[in-house]
């Protein structure tokens, strides 16, 4: 009995660990994890008669294959749509399990394959060996830089793209590897029970997995193990309560969500602040960023119209213009968060206008955003952009909310950075821009209305009319 | 039409809290169960029973808001999702323990007979569902579009920080939306419970239909949810008649995946815009 429970804890821990990669690390609400568990169970049950113990290896492969097939269209979906798509996938798998009677045995399920698979103590040891190895791998992978990248992806996806992290690739990998864990857990579960029925693909498995991970801790390496132990052992303890243990369990999950957001495992650890790398690699690479007649429309609104200018390394170009003139849209278009409708953006010879944001970041364009990530200090955005080793920096209102003294410091920093980088600077503080910029470009209504040295642009009558509020 | 009521309640809660209320399907079932209970106690006719059910479920909606939604307002939407999943499981288990797994039936709204219109017999209950549904949809439209309260609810849905900044009591508005959402769920449960019976485990199914309706119709759009729900209703009726229930469900899920692949923001786009 104790051995069976130990095996069960191991199986659910493995299922939950796979789920932690997708849900915990990337905060993608995947509701197909339970169904992938079922896919693994069926795969093992179907192949056990011919493959023997090796049928257990088929389980993760089958689940990963289903996940990989289903993933591509789902990867670009946002949170709720992703949850719905995975829920639809899970419902489809469940329907197949119930209705494809020739393959799955329908509602009765499959039996009689168990003799070919490891059982008893062998199975328990096997499950726990795999689990320990997976926990160790998970812990080492998410301890350092990978963990920090995952955090950035979770908390600030746009910023993550701006430092070159490919969100779609991450999600795909997590979904497939997480699915493989679920499949293997399903295979083990088939070996343990000797029966596979449509219930293995049902929503109750998903619910158990989700609650176990939330209760245990969604990101901590031991979270899934703790959660699985609670989920398996609690009902044994509360056998007397009969059906109402599920009620108690659901209430406990709710309590954990409300009061212990990091899960039970979170109670045992403190967060360590990681040291910030101070040495910034000297920027090398491309020499010139060139925009040629760039245009961008949002519906009927022409946000950018024929915008052309160049920035060389060693130069700071200031971008001015009234609110809504297209400054941030222009930065978004250069960095690939919006795609240009017309015109070209080139870095030396390389065309950027159709590349995704993370690829542009890897070409050497770093940027900062107007609003910092919660809990970060003001300089963090600039530090992050520098840490990519970018040759060109796009800075969106870095001086917003700064005191005069801080502005002086910033101006000094920018002059220092200019030595081996090109900078595009957006700010409302024309005095600051005049001090640090080599040239100014003034936008109005999405068009360049003036460009040149700060003195020239400030003296331009069109600029005075539109931006400085002085009639021409 | 009853799907429409489920989906409308769902979208109200969604807009108010900014997150999926996974317990909504179970509130519908709870509505059916309350109707069964009240009917056996009071023996009232259906049309008098309905306001009582609505009131009871409005209270349940307020409780749900205070337990699983308001405390998590500052956390990512996934926290609310998980909390409401737990709440759904709690409702389902409570119902299983108290009323058992056997299905019950709620009393009809007017009667279980049929009237003959132009030679075609129409069941009184389907007729009642369509009529009550139409009246409620119209009332909801009026509330949201033509009253100050509705404007507040829409303002909170669009941007809760801005709404707070202009002096709208956000918590109270959210609670009120959830009460309304609960009442709609209760009425839907009561109306559905006569034809399709009430069993504790139906919640997930109701929830999934509402979820699909809202996602297809455009996240957070009230008319979109209505169109989505009606589309699902027709789709199911048509396909079940042609190819049987299992294939009808499969076709629905495949259609959902296809739509999401081709239009990642639902058929009609998203009115709220990107929540970066």
List alpha helices for chain B, DSSP H: 2-17, 24-42, 46-64, 77-99, 124-146, 148-158, 160-165, 170-196, 203-217, 222-243, 245-262
pLDDT given for residue B257 in this prediction: 84
Record the tokens describing residue B269, joined without a space.
């786009």
- A261 and A387, same domain (yes or no): no
- Give the C-alpha separation, A30 to B21, whole Å: 16
Indicate whether A265 pLDDT > 90: no
Indicate whether A316 pLDDT > 70: yes
Indicate whether A132 pLDDT > 90: yes
Q: Are the Cβ atoms of A92 and B253 closer than 8 angstroms?
A: yes
Residue-wise pLDDT tens digits, A324-379: 888 989 999 999 888 899 999 999 888 998 888 888 888 888 888 877 666 666 67
- Give the C-alpha separation, A207 to A31, whole Å: 9
Assigned domain for A274 exists? no
Assigned domain for A18 exists? yes
Residue-wise pLDDT tens digits, A374-418: 666 667 788 888 888 888 999 988 888 788 888 888 888 888 888
* Nearest beta carbon to residue A73 from set B20, B94, B261: B261
Q: What angle do CA A364, A366, A372 make, to 5 degrees?
A: 165
Assigned domain for A276 exists? no
Map residue A342 onto helix, strand or coil.
Answer: strand
Record the tokens describing residue B46, joined without a space.
């259906």
Smallest CA-to-CA distance from B23 within B69, B59, B55, B54 is with B69
- A13 and A51, same domain (yes or no): yes
- A331 and A425, same domain (yes or no): yes
pLDDT given for residue A130 in this prediction: 93
Among the ranges given (A272-276, A291-295, B67-71), the one the predictor scored with the smallest mean pLDDT: A272-276
Smallest CA-to-CA distance from A46 within A127, A111, A122 is with A111
- Give the C-alpha separation, B183 to B112, whole Å: 24
pLDDT category of residue A137 using cuts at 50, 70 and 90:
very high
Q: Residue A242: which residues within 8 A CB-CB, separation 6 or more?
A: none
Q: Which residues of B touch A80 (CB under 8 A)?
A: 20, 77, 215, 219
CATH number of residue A241's parent domain: 1.10.3470
Query: Do A49 and A41 touch, CB atoms closer than 8 A?
Result: no
CA dist B87 to A23, A211, A248, B256, Å?
Answer: 20, 12, 11, 26
Residue-wise pLDDT tens digits, A200-249: 888 888 888 888 888 888 888 888 899 898 888 877 776 666 666 677 77
- Give the C-alpha separation, A344 to A292, whole Å: 5
Q: Please indicate if any CB of chain B lies within 8 Å of the CB of A254.
A: yes
* Nearest beta carbon to residue A203 from set B204, B219, B260: B204
Q: Which residues of B touch A258 (CB under 8 A)?
A: 71-72, 83
pTM as predicted = 0.77
Indicate whether A191 pLDDT > 60: yes
- A129 and A12, same domain (yes or no): yes
Q: Please indicate if any CB of chain B lies within 8 Å of the CB of A207.
A: yes
Q: What angle do CA A117, A118, A124 make, to 5 degrees?
A: 140
- A349 and A233, same domain (yes or no): no
In chain A, residues 51-90 whose CB comes closer than 8 Å to chain B: 73-74, 76-81, 83-85, 87-89
- Give the C-alpha separation, B93 to B83, whole Å: 15
Last residue of a domain, one of A267, A302, A328: A267
- A305 and A263, same domain (yes or no): no
Q: Residue A152: which residues within 8 A CB-CB, separation 6 or more?
A: A159, A160, A163, A165
Residue-wise pLDDT tens digits, A153-183: 887 888 888 888 888 888 899 999 999 999 9
- A107 and A175, same domain (yes or no): yes
- Give the C-alpha separation, A446 to A235, whole Å: 64
Q: Are strands A315-320 and A342-347 parallel, antiparallel or unpaired?
A: unpaired
Smallest CA-to-CA distance from A92 within B237, B235, B257, B242 is with B257
Strand-pair partners of A195:
A111
Among the ranges given (A62-66, A262-266, B129-133), the one the predictor scored with the smallest mean pLDDT: A262-266
> 10 Å Cβ neighbour count for A464?
16
> Region A178-205: what's the mean pLDDT?
90
Segment (H or E) for A320: strand A315-320
Residue-level pLDDT, tens digit, chain B, 276 residues:
677 888 888 888 887 777 778 888 889 889 888 888 888 887 777 777 888 888 988 999 898 888 888 888 777 777 788 888 888 888 888 888 777 767 777 777 766 666 676 666 667 777 788 888 888 888 888 888 888 888 888 888 777 777 877 778 888 888 888 899 999 888 888 888 877 777 777 788 888 888 888 887 777 777 888 888 888 888 877 887 777 777 888 888 888 888 887 776 666 655 444 333
pLDDT category of residue A276 using cuts at 50, 70 and 90:
very low
Q: Which residues of B touch A203 (CB under 8 A)?
A: 204
**Between these two residues, B78 and A298, which has the higher pLDDT value?**
A298
Long-range contacts of A81-84 (CB under 8 A, 24+ apart): A81/B215, A81/B219, A81/B260, A81/B264, A81/B265, A81/B266, A82/A28, A82/A29, A82/A30, A83/A29, A83/A30, A83/A31, A83/B20, A83/B81, A84/B211, A84/B212, A84/B215, A84/B256, A84/B260
Overall number of domains in chain A: 2
Q: What angle do CA A360, A361, A365 make, to 5 degrees?
A: 90
Smallest CA-to-CA distance from A366 within A340, A342, A341, A347 is with A347
pLDDT category of residue A33 using cuts at 50, 70 and 90:
very high
Map residue A393 onto helix, strand or coil.
Answer: strand
Segment (H or E) for A311: strand A301-312
Last residue of a domain, one of A267, A297, A316: A267
Q: Are the Cβ atoms of B90 and A247 closer than 8 angstroms?
A: yes
Residue-wise pLDDT tens digits, A413-446: 888 888 888 999 998 888 888 989 999 999 988 8
Assigned domain for A283 exists? no
At what angle are helices B77-99 and A244-259 packed, to 10 degrees? Answer: 160
Smallest CA-to-CA distance from B86 within B22, B141, B43 is with B22
> Region A53-70: what's the mean pLDDT?
92
Q: Residue B263: which residues within 8 A CB-CB, separation 6 or more?
A: B269
Q: Residue A442: which residues within 8 A CB-CB, separation 6 or more?
A: A320, A321, A448, A449, A450, A451, A457, A460, A462, A463, A466, A467
- A390 and A259, same domain (yes or no): no
Smallest CA-to-CA distance from A118 within A10, A228, A269, A265 is with A10
Q: Are the Cβ atoms of A250 and B86 closer than 8 angstroms?
A: yes
- A229 and A125, same domain (yes or no): yes
Residues on B contacting A at a C-beta cutoff of 8 Å: 20, 67-68, 71-72, 75-79, 81-83, 85-87, 89-90, 93-94, 96-97, 204, 208, 211-212, 215, 219, 246, 249-250, 253-254, 256-257, 260-261, 264-266, 274, 276
Q: What is the mean pLDDT of chain A?
A: 85
CATH number of residue A294's parent domain: 3.40.50.300
ipTM rounded to 2 decimals: 0.80
* Nearest beta carbon to residue B78 from set A27, A73, A78: A27
Q: Are the Cβ atoms of A254 and B68 closer than 8 angstroms?
A: yes
List alpha helices for A340-400, DSSP H: 357-363, 380-387
- A299 and A258, same domain (yes or no): no
- Give the C-alpha separation, A360 to B217, whole Å: 34
Q: Which of B213, B257, B266, B274 to mutate to test the interface with A (most CBs of A within 10 A)?
A: B257
- CA-nearest residue to A241 within chain B is B97
Assigned domain for A82 exists? yes
Q: Which residues of A touch B202 (CB under 8 A)?
A: none
Assigned domain for A273 exists? no
Assigned domain for A69 exists? yes
Record the tokens describing residue B90, joined without a space.
């709690």
Last residue of a domain, one of A201, A232, A267: A267
pLDDT given for residue B265 in this prediction: 67
- A205 and A295, same domain (yes or no): no
- A415 and A351, same domain (yes or no): yes
pLDDT given for residue A62 in this prediction: 94
pLDDT given for residue A15 in this prediction: 93
Assigned domain for A95 exists? yes
pLDDT given for residue A274 in this prediction: 44
Query: Do A290 and A317 touch, CB atoms closer than 8 A?
Result: no
pLDDT given for residue A185 in this prediction: 94
Residue-wise pLDDT tens digits, B17-36: 777 788 888 898 898 888 88
Full residue range of the structural domain in which residue A389 is found: 288-466
- Give the C-alpha separation, A366 to A386, whole Å: 7
Among the ranges given (A104-108, A377-381, A463-467, B162-166), the one the predictor scored with the smallest mean pLDDT: A377-381
Q: Are strands A342-347 and A350-351 parallel, antiparallel or unpaired?
A: antiparallel
């Amino acid at each position: 009995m104790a051995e069976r429970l130990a095996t069960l804890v191991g199986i659910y821990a493995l299922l939950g660990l796979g789920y932690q990669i997708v849900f915990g690390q990337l905060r993608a609400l995947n509701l197909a994890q339970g169904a992938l568990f079922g896919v693994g169970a069926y795969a093992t049950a179907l192949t056990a008669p011919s493959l023997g113990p090796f049928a257990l290896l088929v389980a993760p492969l089958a689940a990963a294959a289903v996940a990989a097939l289903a993933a591509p269209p789902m990867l670009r979906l946002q949170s709720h749509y992703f949850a719905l798509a995975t829920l639809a996938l899970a419902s489809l798998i469940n329907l197949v399990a119930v209705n494809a009677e020739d393959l799955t045995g329908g509602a009765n399920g499959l039996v009689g394959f168990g003799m070919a698979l490891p059982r008893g103590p062998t199975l328990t040891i096997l499950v726990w060996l795999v689990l320990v190895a997976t926990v160790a791998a998970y812990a080492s992978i998410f301890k350092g830089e990978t963990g920090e990248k995952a955090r950035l992806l979770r908390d600030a996806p746009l910023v993550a793209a701006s430092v070159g992290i490919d969100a779609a690739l991450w999600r795909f990998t997590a979904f497939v590897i997480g699915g493989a864990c679920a499949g293997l857990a399903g295979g083990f579960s088939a070996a343990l029970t000797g029966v596979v029925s449509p219930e293995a693909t049902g929503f109750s498995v998903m619910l158990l997995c989700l609650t176990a991970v939330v209760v245990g801790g969604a990101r901590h390496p031991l979270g899934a193990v703790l959660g699985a132990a609670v989920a398996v052992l609690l009902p044994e303890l509360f056998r007397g309560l009969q059906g109402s243990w599920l009620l108690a369990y659901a209430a406990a999950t709710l309590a954990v969500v409300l009061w212990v957001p990091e899960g039970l495992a979170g109670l045992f650890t403190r967060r360590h602040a990681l040291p910030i790398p101070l040495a910034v690699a000297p920027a090398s690479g491309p020499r010139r960023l060139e925009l040629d007649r760039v245009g961008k429309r949002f519906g009927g609104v022409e946000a950018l119209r024929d915008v052309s200018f160049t920035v060389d390394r060693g130069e700071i170009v200031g971008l001015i213009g009234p609110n809504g003139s297209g400054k941030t849209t222009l930065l978004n278009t250069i960095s690939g968060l919006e795609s240009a409708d017309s015109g070209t953006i080139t870095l030396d010879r390389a065309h950027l206008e159709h590349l995704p944001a993370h690829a542009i970041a890897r070409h050497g364009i770093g940027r900062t955003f107007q609003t910092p990530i919660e809990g970060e200090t003001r300089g963090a955005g600039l530090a992050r952009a520098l840490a990519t080793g970018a040759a060109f920096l796009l800075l969106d209102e870095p001086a917003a909310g700064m005191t005069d003294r801080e502005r002086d410091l910033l101006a000094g920093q920018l002059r220092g950075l200019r030595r081996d980088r090109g900078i595009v600077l957006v700010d409302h503080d024309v005095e600051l821009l005049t001090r640090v910029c080599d040239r100014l470009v003034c936008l109005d209504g999405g068009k360049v209305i003036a460009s040149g040295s700060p003195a020239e642009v400030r003296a331009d009558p069109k600029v005075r009319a539109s931006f400085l509020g002085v009639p021409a | 039409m009853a799907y429409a009521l489920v989906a409308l309640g769902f979208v109200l809660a969604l807009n108010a809290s900014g997150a999926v209320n996974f317990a909504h399907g179970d509130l519908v079932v709870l509505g059916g169960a309350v109707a069964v209970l009240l009917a056996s106690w009071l023996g009232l006719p259906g049309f008098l029973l309905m306001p009582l059910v609505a009131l009871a479920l409005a209270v349940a909606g307020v409780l749900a808001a205070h337990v699983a939604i308001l405390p998590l307002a500052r956390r990512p939407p996934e926290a609310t999702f998980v909390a409401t999943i737990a709440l759904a499981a709690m409702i389902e288990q409570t119902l299983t323990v108290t009323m058992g797994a056997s299905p019950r039936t709620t009393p009809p709204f007017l009667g279980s007979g049929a009237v003959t219109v132009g030679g075609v017999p129409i069941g009184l209950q389907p007729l009642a569902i369509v009529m009550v549904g139409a009246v409620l949809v119209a009332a909801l439209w009026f509330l949201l579009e033509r009253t100050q309260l509705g404007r507040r609810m829409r303002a909170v849905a669009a941007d809760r920080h801005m709404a707070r900044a202009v002096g709208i009591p956000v918590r109270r508005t959210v609670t009120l939306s959830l009460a309304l959402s609960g009442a709609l769920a209760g009425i839907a449960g009561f109306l559905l419970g006569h034809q399709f019976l009430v069993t504790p485990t139906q919640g997930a199914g109701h929830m999934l239909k509402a979820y699909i309706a809202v996602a297809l119709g455009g996240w957070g759009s009230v008319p979109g949810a209505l169109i989505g729900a009606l589309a699902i209703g027709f789709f199911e009726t048509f396909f079940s008649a042609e190819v049987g229930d299992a294939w009808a469900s499969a076709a629905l899920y495949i259609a959902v995946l296809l739509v999401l692949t081709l239009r990642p923001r639902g058929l009609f786009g998203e009115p709220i815009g990107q929540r970066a």
